[in-house]
A and B are shown apart, each in its own frame.
Chain A
Amino acid sequence: MTGRVITITSGKGGVGKTTATANLGVALAQLGHKVVTIDADVGLRNLDLVMGLENRIVYDLVDVIEGRCKLRQAMIRDKRLEGLYLLPAAQTRDKTAVSPSDMVLICDELRSESDYILIDSPAGIERGFRNAIAPADEVIILTNPEVSSVRDSDRIIGLLEADEKAAPSLIVNRIKPEMVEKGEMLAIGDVLDVLMIKLIGIVPEDEQVLISTNRGLPAALANGSQAGQAFRNIARRIGGEEVPFLSLERERGLRGWLKRAVGSR
C-alpha cells in the first residue's frame, strides 16, 4: 500500500477543519479504505473529541516522536468503523514538540499500511501549520463563504505555492443557500473567483453537525444529515470518482436542491 497523505487546513480558525477531518475519515473508511487521522494541533487537541475517542487515549503523537511508544501503540482504532484510526495530539505540550521532519517520518511509516492519512492542521501559518503540511501529498483548503476566511485561505494557498506543493483543492464549508440567494453571503463563484483552485466539495450549514460533534459522532456516520452526505460525496471524489455536485450554474437552485434532497418543506 502507498497511502496518500492529505492535509486539511484553512489559515483561519473555526471554519471546521477538525469536523471535516473526522467526517472525511469516517466517509473514506465507510468506502472500505484504511484511514489514519492525525491531529496536528498539539496543545489544543480536538479531533479525539469530535471522533468520540478521547477516553481511549494512552499515548499520543509526541510520545511517538520522543520514543516513549511505538507508532502502533499510539494509534486508536475506532470501534464503530473498521479501518479507521486516530493518532491523537498531545494536550500538555505545544507545537514546538513536533518538527516538520518528525511528521514526514511518521507519515512515511504509515503510508505502507494505510490508504489515506488525513492530517488535521491547526489554524495559523506558523510551526503547527508547517508541521501539518510538511508530509502532505495533497492539501485540502477548507473555507467558509465569508471574506475573512477566504482571505486567509488565499494566504495559505500562496504559502503552499511558495513551498512548491501541488495545487490544493477546495471545500467550501457551512454555506447557507438562503443567505447566498439574498446576497448576504459569498456565493461559491465569488470564493472560486479569488482562490482559483479546484473545488471538491460544498458542505451546507447543518445543525446536525454541531449536535453530532458534541456527541463525538461524526455526521457522516448518520444518514439523515445533509452535511454528512456532502462529506461522503467528497470522500468519493477524493477516491477519483466523478460525483455530480451542485454546479456553479445551478447555485441559485441550491435551496431547491436541498429541499429535494431532504424531501421536506
Chain B
Amino acid sequence: MERDTISIKGIRDGLMVTLGDGELAPLVDKLAGRLAEQGRFFQGGQVALMVGERLMGRTELEGIGAMLARNGMALWVVLSENEETQEAARGLQIGTRLPGSGSELAGGTTMPEEGTELLAAGRMTSDEEQPGVLVRGALRSGRRVESTGHVVVIGDVNPGAEIFAGGDVIVWGKLRGLVHAGAHGDQTAVVCALELVPTQLRIAEFISVPPGGPRDKEPVPEMASARDGQIVAESWSPGYRGQR
C-alpha cells in the first residue's frame, strides 16, 4: 500500500476500506471526502476497516466510527495485525475479523469471544445481515442505485437507469433499465420484476441481452437467475419457495 492512500471496495457483506501508511488524520479526512462524494451509494452499509500494522487506540477508532455514522454507515470490523489495535476494537464491541473463512489476516492472532460470535452469525445466514436499499418511486434515466446488499424498487426502472447490487434485485414494476445482481460475484443472486424487459441483465459474471422486438404476450412477473453459465428468466410460479 502506498503512502497517504485509501481504497474502498465492495465485499460480500459490506465495504472494505483500506487505510494506507502515513498520518492518520489526513487519511481519515480523505476517506470522509470520498464517502461524502459517493455517500448516497454506501448509505446503510457496514465497513470493514483494514489498517495493517497501524496502532490505533480507542479514541481513534471511535472518531472513525463517528465519521462513518455521519455518512450513514457503521464501523463493523477492524482488521489489524496490531494486537493493541485489535484490543481497542474489541473494547468498543467491534469485530476484528470478517465472517466466513478465508478472511483471516496473515499474521493475525486467534480471535477471542466477540470475533467468534460474529463469525458464527455470519455463517448462519448472510441475508438478514446484508444492508439493503429500498427505493420508492420510479428510477428514471440517469439514476444509479448501488448497494452491497439487496435492492428493492417499488416503481418502474426506466431505460437509462442502473442498479448494482451485491445481492438480489426486486422490482415491483417494469424493469427496463440495466441491472447487475450479485455484482460481487454471487451467482445465486436473482432478479425479479413484474415485467422483466431490461436493457441488459447481469448476474455475477454473466451478461444477457434480452431479445428485442415487440412482445406479443401479456407481461407476467418473472424471475431471472444464473443457471449453467447463462441467465434464465422464468415466469413467476406461486409454488416457488425460495430454494436456490
* Residue positions of A touching B, CB distance < 8 A: 151-152, 154-155, 157-159, 161, 194, 196
Contacts and interface: CB of A to CB of B under 8 A. Distances in A.
A144 to B, nearest CB: 16
8 contacts: A151-B160, A154-B142, A154-B160, A155-B160, A158-B139, A158-B141, A158-B143, A194-B176
Nearest to B140: A158
B138 interface: yes
B156 interface: yes
A196 B156 contact: yes
A194 B158 CA distance: 7
Contact of B142 (A159, A194, A196): A159
B159 interface: yes
How large, as a class, is the contact surface on chain B?
A: 10 to 19
Which DSSP category, helix, strand, loop or mixed, fits chain B's interface?
A: loop
Contacts of B142: 154-155, 158-159
A151 B156 contact: no
Interface string B125-163: 000000000000111111100000000000010111000
A194 B143 contact: no
Max chain B Cβ within 10 angstroms of own Cβ: one of A152, A154, A157: A154
A152 B141 contact: yes
Given A151-B141, A159-B142, A161-B140, 14 more contacts: A151-B159, A151-B160, A154-B140, A154-B141, A154-B142, A154-B159, A155-B140, A155-B141, A155-B142, A157-B140, A158-B141, A194-B176, A196-B138, A196-B156
Nearest to B158: A154
A196 to B, nearest CB: 6
Interface in B140-190: 140-143, 156, 158-160, 176
A181 to B, nearest CB: 15
Across chains A and B, which 9 residue pairs bring their CB atoms closest together, nearest first? A158-B140, A154-B141, A155-B142, A155-B141, A154-B140, A151-B141, A154-B158, A151-B160, A158-B142
A155 B139 CA distance: 10
A125 B160 CA distance: 15
A152 B141 CA distance: 7
Contacts of A155: 140-142, 160
Nearest to A147: B159
Contacts of B176: 194
Nearest to B156: A196
Contacts of B138: 196
A195 to B, nearest CB: 9
Contacts of B140: 154-155, 157-158, 161
Contacts of B137: 161
